[in-house]
Amino acid sequence: MIKLSERLTHIANQVSVGEVVADIGCDHALTDIYIIEKGIAKHAIAMDVRPGPLEHAKNNVKTYNVKDKISIRLSDGLDNLKPNEADSIIISGMGGNLIRNILTRGEEVLKTVTELILSPQKEPNVVREYLYNNGFYIDREEMVKDAGKYYVIIHAINENASEKYTKHFINSKEKIVPETEEDYIYGVLLKGSKDKVFFEFINGELKKCDMAIKSIEKKGTSASLDKLKELIKSRDNILKIIEEMSD
């Protein structure tokens, strides 16, 4: 049985449809092998824009004897994935802007997908904004700490997906949508949770903010005034999140 990092394990376990999953930027296809071995999905399409990692992926798929259940495909984003080929799509290990660009280019494919599992390494607000503006609903989020770094994992479902899946994932009376800039930056679901990893992360963000404010105040240049105001506003918003999570 293959063993994944903490981050990749949590990403793989977010897949819930159980048919075909497409892993965009699959690297060595370890996540896909795990998904097949665990019976999370029946088939996986491992896709990457780089030929080198795909060669490693082919070797791994052969080593773990899952060649008949994992397809290896050279693709820039979703370019070589057809509509109705996959129920679930995983995209991780990229910045939020790149993930948004991949989703935007692949909108015809997204129309036929039931769920997205996205783990942006930065700019998660860009991903959240795209999802809410393009027919996807974020029904759960989690934060994972792996090798000293924090990673957010976003699970979103297509609100136009087949009825059986929307009934399973969405209860319209419980829908929670972003209302403020901080909801997009930190995730409205994470903000409203008691997640210990996120609480640790947000306290770290407060310390960074305080340090930046002290640094600017020490320099005392008029050119930094706008940045100082921005940081003070961010600190106040972070303190509010911490207070709400501590209640």
Max Cα separation, the chain? Answer: 64
Q: Which two tokens stand for residue 154?
A: 């976003």
Euclidean distance between CA atoms 57 and 73, whole angstroms:
10
Nearest to 187 by CA among 197, 172, 200, 177: 177
Euclidean distance between CA atoms 21 and 35, whole angstroms:
9
Contact 44, 35 (CB under 8 A): yes
Strand ranges in the chain using DSSP code E only, listed in sequence order: 20-24, 43-48, 70-74, 88-94, 115-120, 136-146, 149-158
CB atoms within 10 A of CB 193: 17
pLDDT of residue 173: 47
Strand ranges in 95-148 using DSSP code E only, listed in sequence order: 115-120, 136-146
**CATH number of the structural domain 6-174:** 3.40.50.150
Contacts (Cβ under 8 Å, ≥6 apart) of 137: 131, 156, 157, 159, 169, 170, 175
How would you write the pLDDT of the chain (247 residues) with one tens digit per residue? Answer: 899 999 999 999 999 866 899 999 999 999 999 999 999 999 999 999 999 999 999 999 999 999 999 999 999 999 999 999 999 999 999 999 999 999 999 999 999 999 999 999 999 999 999 999 999 989 889 999 999 999 999 999 898 876 655 555 555 446 778 888 999 999 999 998 889 999 999 999 999 999 999 888 887 666 677 888 889 999 999 999 999 988 7
The one-letter code for the residue type at 128 is R
pLDDT of residue 165: 56
Query: What separation, in Å, do the N-terminal and C-terminal C-alpha atoms of the chain show?
Result: 42
Euclidean distance between CA atoms 157 and 88, whole angstroms:
9
Domain ranges of the chain: 6-174, 196-246
Euclidean distance between CA atoms 244 and 241, whole angstroms:
5
β-strand pairing of 136-146 with 149-158: antiparallel
